[in-house]
Structure 1
Amino acid sequence: MSIPDYGKYPEDRILFLKEKLICRDTQMFTLLSILGEPHHHSYPSVFVYGHTATGKTYVVQTLLKTLKLPHVIVSCVECFSSRMLFEQILNQLHGHSLSPENEYSSYLQCNTLNEFVLLFKQVVHEKNLHNQTISIVLDKAEQLREMDANLLPGFLRFQELAEVNATVIFLSEIVWEKFRPNTGCFEPLILHFPDYSKADLQKILSSDHPPEFSAEFYASYINILLGVFYTVCRDLKELRHLAALNFPKFCEPVRRGDAKEEDAHRLWKNIEPHLKKAMQTVYLREISSAQWERLQQDEEEAGYVKGLSAHAHVELPYYSKFLLIAAYLSSYNPARTDKRFFLKHHGKIKKTSFLKKHEKTSNHLLGPKPFPLDRLLAIFYSIVDSRVIPTENIFSQITSLVALQLLTQVGHDDQLDGPKYKCTASLDFIRAIARTVNFDIVRYLYDFL
C-alpha cells in the first residue's frame, strides 16, 4: 500500500506505525484523515467500536503518541463519576499527576459540565495549545450512558461548546444504535474495527517470535495453536497469553536436541496433550502462568501426565451454581419434560408417549438449545433448597455467567419475548459443580433416564 501524503507527519513515523499496527492499515489511515494536520480543525467527535481485543485502544493510543499529538486518554470505568472524569482530563492536559507532595489532589476542582468547559479553555491557553488539535479519548465509553444525562451530548459537540480545536474519540464495544441517547444528539463519525481473521491473528502472533528461534519455526507453532484454539477463542489477548504460556513446551524437544525445527510431527505429538489441557482453562484463568509452569514441571518429575480439571479451582457463588445447573437442564432437556422433573404430583408419564419423534434423539449429541429467561428461573426456583426471593442480585449473577462464557446470550436485548440463553459448559464441568452443592444432576437429565 502506498503511503498517502499527510503533510507534517514524517514519513518514517508513518512507516513505523504501519509496522506497529499490523492488519490495521485501513483504520489507521482513516483516523489520520479525520485528524488531519495538527493546525487544522478536525471533526468534533469520532465513535470507534468493535469487539474486545480488536485493537481499538492500542491503535488510537499508538497513533497519538507516535505522532506526538496533544491528547488525553481516560478510562470511563476508572472515572466512574462525572467529577472524576472531568478532573482526570484536566490533570492529563496540564501534565499534573497525583502524588504525596500534592496530597493526591487534582490540579483543578470541577463538578459540572459548564465548569469543565471553562476550565478546559483555561488550561488550553495556559499550555498554549489553542493552535493544535487536542484529542480526548474516552475508553469504555459505554459507561457514559450511566452518568449525567448531559454528559454524552456535551462531549459529542464539545468542540462547539469549548470553542477550541478538540476532537473527542469514543472507544466502545457496542454499536452506535445502542449508544445513541433517546433525546437526540450530534452524530459522530463512526469507525468500525472488525474482528481479526485467522490470517490476521497468524500474522500478529507470529510477529512476537523470540530471537533465539527462527520466524518460520515460531510461525509454524502459531499455526498449530490457532488450529486448536481458533474455533473456541478469537480474543487476541487470550491467544497471545496461550502462545507465550505453551511455547516453552513446544520447543522443549528442540532445546534437548531430540528434534529439529523442521520435525513438525514430533513437535506436534509433544505439545498435543498440553494444548488439550490448556483448552480447559480458556477465559477462566483458573491458575496463573507461574502455577501452570510449576504444574508442568511437577508432572514431568513424577513421570506422568495428569489432566488439569477445568473446575478444580473455579469458585462460583452459591446461587450461581444453581443458576448454571438450571441453565444446563434448560439447554439439554426438552421443555415438555419440565413437568415430569420439577412438578411433584405429575402422575405417571411414559418416556415415549409425551415426546415428539425428533426429541427421542440424544440431546447431548445435538448440542445445547436456547431457552428463555423465565424457564431458567422456573427451574432454578424448583431445584434450589432454600426459598429465594427474585432480586437484582440473581439477575446480576446471570450476567456474570455470561461474562465467564459459561452462558451465551442468543438474540438481542430488545426482543419482545425477552432474552434467550444457551449453556456452553460441559457435562463434566456441570457434574463437578453439582457435587459441590450435593445435587444429583444425572437424575434430572432426560438423556440418562
Structure 2
Amino acid sequence: MRLTRAFKPSLKAAMETLHPRIMNAEHWCKINEPEEDVLEKLFQTTGPLSPTRRGYDEDSNLLPINKGKGKEGQAGIEALPRMSKFILLASYIASSNPAKTDLRMFGRGLDEKKRKRRVVRNKAPPKGSSGPVKIPQPLVGPSPFPLDRMLAILGALIENNDVESRLPAPEFTIPGEYTDMEISRVGTYASVNELTSLHLLHRTSAADRLDGPPMFKCAISHNIAQSLAKQLGIQLHEILWDPV
C-alpha cells in the first residue's frame, strides 16, 4: 500500500504525458528523476511517510513530479513545423465537425454569407416523444475522416489565415491557386505520415485499402487544439460546429 501511494502521482503523470506521445520518454525520465534515497525515506519506520503517523498526506507527491508538465508536455507540439500545425488543426476540425457542415463553415459563395456555427438552444422535448437522445460531438469523441476532406479544410485554413506570411508569387493570379499548390505538395503527405508516426493522428483504414481515400482520426485534446489555434492566429470556437 505504501508503494502504491508513493508511486501513484508519478504513474498518473506518466500516463498523461507519455501515453498520448506528448513528450519523449527519455526527456520525461530526466525531468522526473527521483532522489537517490527515496526508497530509504519510503521504508523508514518513523517519520511523516508512515500512513499510521500523524501528518501523513495521502495525496502528497513523494517523487519529484514536474509541476509544469502541461507546458513541458506541449513542447513537442510547439516544435512542429507550421504546416504540420495547420494539418493537425485541420484534422481536429475534421474529427469534430460533421462533414455536411464543411460548406457552411468554410465555403465562399457569390453572396458571401457570413459563416454561422451551430446555435444550441435549450428546447423542451415534445410530450410523448421517446426518440433517441443525440449526444454532443465533444462527448462522443473524434470521428474518422477521409484524407481528401482534411486537405480541403487545410486549404481553407491556409487561405484564410496564412496569406500574409507566404512568399511573393506573381505567377499565381487565380485566387486559391497558390494554396492548392501548397496542399498538393509531397511534403504535405509526408507531414501526415510523420504525425501518424508520432501518434498525433491515427489511421483507421487498412494500409493496403484501394477503394476510397485513407481514413484518419485526430488524437489531440481540445486544449492542445486551442493552443495550436492560438499560435496560428485562428479563432477555434468560430470554426467548430459544436464547440466545447
TM-based fold match above 0.5: yes
What CA distance in whole angstroms lies between the structure 2 residues aligned with 1:439 and 1:349?
Answer: 16
Q: Measure, in 1, the Cα distance between the counterparts of 2:155 and 2:206.
A: 25
Which residue number in structure 2 is paired with residue 181 of structure 1? none
Shift of 1:318: 0.6
1:130 aligns to what? none
CA pair 272-447 structure 1, distance change in 2 beyond 3 A: farther
Counterparts of 1:156-171 in structure 2, within 5 Å, are none
Q: Which runs of 5+ in 2 are unaligned?
A: 36-60, 121-130, 164-177
Call closer, same or farther: CA 1:399–1:352 in 2, change over 3 Å: same
1:394 corresponds, among 184, 188, 196, to 188
Deviation at 1:347, TM superposition (A): 6.0
Say which structure is richer in helix.
Answer: 1
- Aligned residue number for residue 332 of structure 1: 96
Of 143, 153, 156, the residue aligned with 1:382 is 156
Q: Deviation digits for residues 80-124 of structure 1, max 9, x if unmatched?
A: xxxxxxxxxxxxxxxxxxxxxxxxxxxxxxxxxxxxxxxxxxxxx
1:371 aligns to 2:145 (yes or no): yes
Alignment of 1:185-334 (within 5 A): 264=1, 266-279=2-15, 280-282=17-19, 283=21, 284-285=23-24, 287=27, 289-293=29-33, 306-309=67-70, 310-314=73-77, 315-334=79-98
Among residues 222, 227, 243, which one is paired with 1:427 in the alignment?
222
Q: Deviations over 1:24-66 (max 9, x none)?
A: xxxxxxxxxxxxxxxxxxxxxxxxxxxxxxxxxxxxxxxxxxx
8 Å contact 2:92–2:220 — kept in the other structure?
yes
| Counterpart code for 1:364 | P
TM (norm. structure 2) is 0.63
Q: One-letter code of the match for 2:214? A: P
Distance between the aligned counterparts of 1:291 and 1:348, measured in 2?
45
Which residue in 2 is equivalent to 1:410?
Answer: 204
Give, in angstroms, the shift of residue 349 of structure 1: 6.3
Offset of residue 328 of structure 1: 0.3
Letter aligned with residue 204 of structure 2: V
Asked if the contact 2:147–2:216 (Cα under 8 Å) also holds between the matched residues in 1, the reply is: yes
The 5 A counterparts of 1:96-111 are none
CA distance in 2, matches of 1:337, 1:323: 19
Aligned counterparts of 1:348 and 1:289: Cα–Cα separation in 2? 46
Q: Determine the C-alpha separation between the residues in 1 that align with 2:117 and 2:86.
A: 28
Q: Which runs of 5+ in 1 are unaligned?
A: 1-263
Alpha-carbon distance change, 370 to 358 in structure 1, aligned in 2, over 3 angstroms: farther
How far has the Cα of 1:416 moved from its partner?
A: 1.1
State the AA in 1 paired with 2:150: L
Tell me which amino acid in the other structure corresponds to 1:273: P
Give the share of equivalent positions with the same residue, in percent: 29
Contact 1:277 1:307 in 2 (8 A): no
Per the normalisation by structure 1, the TM-score is 0.36
The amino acid across from 2:212 in the alignment is: D
Counterpart residue type for residue 434 of structure 1: A
CA contact (8 A) 2:118 2:242 kept: no
Residues 351, 375 of structure 1: alpha-carbon distance in 2 compared, 3 angstrom cutoff: same
Alpha-carbon separation, structure 1, partners of 2:115 and 2:134:
18
1:373 corresponds to which letter in structure 2? L
Aligned mates of 2:12, 2:152 — CA distance in 1: 36
Structure scoring higher RCO (CA < 8 A, sep ≥ 6) equals 2
Alignment of 1:349-364 (within 5 A): 351=118, 361-364=135-138
AA at the equivalent of 1:408: H
Residues 434 and 441, structure 1, Cα contact 8 Å, conserved in 2:
yes
Count of aligned residue pairs for this structure pair: 178
Relative to structure 1, is the Cα distance of residues 428 and 393 closer, same or farther in structure 2, using a 3 angstrom cutoff? same
Which of the two has higher C-alpha Rg? 1
Instruction: Give the secondary structure class of the aligned counterpart of 1:368.
Output: coil
**Stretch deviating more after TM superposition (340-349 or 306-315):** 340-349
Give the whole-Å Cα distance in 2 for the aligned partners of 1:340 and 1:358: 26
**SS of equivalent residue, structure 2 residue 13:** helix
CA distance, structure 2, for counterparts of residue 432 and residue 277 of structure 1: 20
Q: Is the 8 A contact 2:117 2:238 kept in 1?
A: no
**In 1: Cα distance, 2:84 partner to 2:213 partner:** 20
2: CA distance between counterparts of 1:396 and 1:269?
44
Residue 277 of structure 1 and its aligned partner are, at CA, apart by 1.8
The answer to whether the Cα contact below 8 Å between 2:201 and 2:216 also exists between their aligned partners in 1 is yes
Could you give the per-residue CA deviations for residues 332-381 of structure 1, whole angstroms, max 9, x where no partner exists?
Answer: 1111111221124346768479xxx9895311111111100110000001
Relative to structure 1, is the Cα distance of residues 360 and 438 closer, same or farther in structure 2, using a 3 angstrom cutoff? farther
Is the partner of 1:446 in helix, strand or coil? coil
Pair 1:443 & 2:207 matched:
no
